[in-house]
Structures are given as structure tokens and as C-alpha cells.
Structure 1
Amino acid sequence: MSVDVQSTFQSSLFDAPQAPSTSAIERRPLSGGAWVDVGRNWLPDADDVFATLVRDVPWRAERRAMYDRVVDVPRLVHTYMIGEDLPHPALTAARDELSSHYLEELGEPFRTAGCCYYRDGRDSVAWHGDTIGRGASHDTMVAIVSVGDPRRLHLRPRDPDLREESFAVEMGHGDLVVMGGACQRTWEHAVPKVASAGPRVSVQFRPFNVF
């Protein structure tokens, strides 16, 4: 049985606080030692962040092998590596606030920022866990900041016998979703295609050597 966690799309230009605040983040414990935190209207200046990301990020299209052919990855991507400046000061402040808030649990700061540009409802990401690098064997975190049109992040246990625990979080404009604990090893997540959606950018903050 699927449970949806939804929010109404709102511009955070007036509703969000002037600086990222972790005080309103709510945690949902999951099976297998995993958990998900959600912060609504968390990112300040979300309108300006969205416009800046669409305009200034050096987006690239990727291709991948699938069965007997090579296909386009259904979204545009770019990753800001360790030491690279982020394209908007609100994202730098967000990364620093997340690093401070989760330091006791995570034991290290967030270091990279992977960006995905979902141009419309046809862009998506298939079921997966971030298990390249340390995420395959250690508890870690991936913090996602979403700006633009709402899209649902679907989550399900890797164990087929536990699939009734599957649920979805609707990521609205300026929302924060953090997947932590064993989430990358014991759960999978996806952003499926939808019939209609406007553009959205997802920024995923990760620690060192988590992909």
C-alpha cells in the first residue's frame, strides 16, 4: 500500500525563512535502518535559485547503454565537485547548514552537489540507490533540495517482501528531502515520468565518495 506525503506548490520568495533552518525538519523512520527527513519551504530565495540554475549551470546530456542500444539519459546533469563554487549563495548556505545540522550523525560535511534538470514530465530517474562508493557498505546521507515544479520522489524497500512499505514524497518548490541511515543500501528511490510537469531542478548534496 502506497502512502503519499504531499505539499502544495508555493513560491518560497515570501514564505521561506531568510536563511535555511533545520528546525522544521521532520523525520520518518523506515525499515532496514533507513530514515527520511523532510523540510517544507526550506530553501530561501528558491525562485532566484531556480532561475540561476537553469541559466548558469553548464548542463550536459548523457547517454548510456541499455540492452543492445545506447539511449539518452532522460534529464540534464552537472556535478559541482569538492572545492568548486556553487552557482548561487543560497546553495552554499544550504550546504553549510546541512553539514552543521547533520555533523553528529554523519560525521563529516557534505562535499559535492549533483544537479539534475528535469525539463518536463518526460524526464525521470529510474529505481536505484546511491551505492557507488561508500554508500554500498556504510550508512550515509544524500540531501536533496528541489526547486521548480513539484515532482514525486518514490521510495521502496529493496526486499520485495516489504514492498507494502513503499511511499512517495512530493518535493515542492524549495523543499528539502534527506535520505539517511541505510537508505541507499536497503531502499531504492526513483522519480518516474508523469503525463505533464513543468521544469524542475534537483540539487543532491553528498559526502565524499558517495554517488
Structure 2
Amino acid sequence: MVCWSAENATKAYLQTMKMGKRAKEPDVAEFLSALAAGNSAQLMVEACTSTAGATTLALVAAAHQTGGRVVCILPGLEELHSSEEALGPDADCVEFVIGDARILLLNDYRGADFVLIDCNLEDHEGVLRAVQAGAKNSGAVVVGYNAFCKASWGMSGSKTQLLPIGEGLLVTRVPATTKRSRWVIRVDKCTGEEHVFRIKSSPRKNIEA
């Protein structure tokens, strides 16, 4: 589990405040940058419905503190060009990708540890499920913005908080799948020596009859 870094969070927050001079929702951006940086996020992915903006800049500010990558998934070329124009020089810090967020998060960006999802996406809950599947080993923090526009997503085995920031933020932590371990002792019949092995196994699921 990654320990919270107050120093990273504070620096990212302050940097985002400076960027917020051209951002429409500085409060949202500042919160997101502090959250991503505080969790020492290394692979930050945002799934947008339109032009990248304040939320993307928040991830850029966090990446400056953690040394991580920022990926922005867009629906088409028009959104790509408008995003590059909107972000200006900061666009060079973002890897823009065009495609289906669900497929990309299950394949190319499987294991992303911080994901932003625009709840205006047609299948934003499907994108969330893709993140859940891809983050089983390492875990992830997932944030949905524009949450007041859609019903709150549900997720078994996780806690979701709806925060009244901007147009609403849904914050979910996808837990890493922990593996149990057990010790096995084997005795060599010829020498009488004992050999101890540690075997890791996934948690068993309860099966109801």
C-alpha cells in the first residue's frame, strides 16, 4: 500500500492554484491534484467526453511531483486538436489517445493507479468496471467528475464518496487483491532434512450450495 505523501499533495495543490488562472473550476483541479500527488500516482489516466481542461492540468501538476505519466483518452480528432490548444504548453506533458476508454484501460493502461472519469460518458460505469478489472493487483483511486449529472455508481467491496465539489465528485478506491500465504514443510526421506516453503494463493471465494 502506498503511504500518503502530504508534501507531494501540498506542492501539487499550490502548483494547480497557479495553473487555475486559466481554469474554469480551480477548486476541483486543486483537490484532484492533491489527491493524485498525495497517493504518489504513477500512471494517471483521464477519460474525457470533450476537450481536456482543468482536470487534466490537475494531473499534470501531480505528475510534476510524483514523476508519473498523464494519459488523456479522447473520443476523436476534433477533441484532440481543441485539447492541445486549450492546454497550451502543458499539452506536451500529456499523452493524448483516441479510442474506447474501456478497451484502453483493460489493455494498454491496465494497472493505472489513478483514473479520472467524466460521468457524462455514455457508459461511465462500464469504464469504472474496466478500471476495477485492470487494477486488481495494485489497486487504484478512481474519481468521477460531473457526478451530479448521473446516478451514483455502485461497486462491491469498495467505498464510494460523493463530494459536493464543482459539479460533484465520486471518489472510489479499488482495493488490491491480496494473496494469502501458507508455510509448507517437506521432509526428505533419505536425509531427514526439513525444507520449508512459502506458498501464496488467492483468497478463496465462499460457494453457496
| TM-score between the two structures when normalised by the length of structure 1 | 0.28
Larger radius of gyration: 2
User: Which one has the bigger helix percentage?
Assistant: 2
More strand per residue: 1 or 2?
A: 1
More contact order relative to length (CA 8 Å, sep ≥ 6): 1
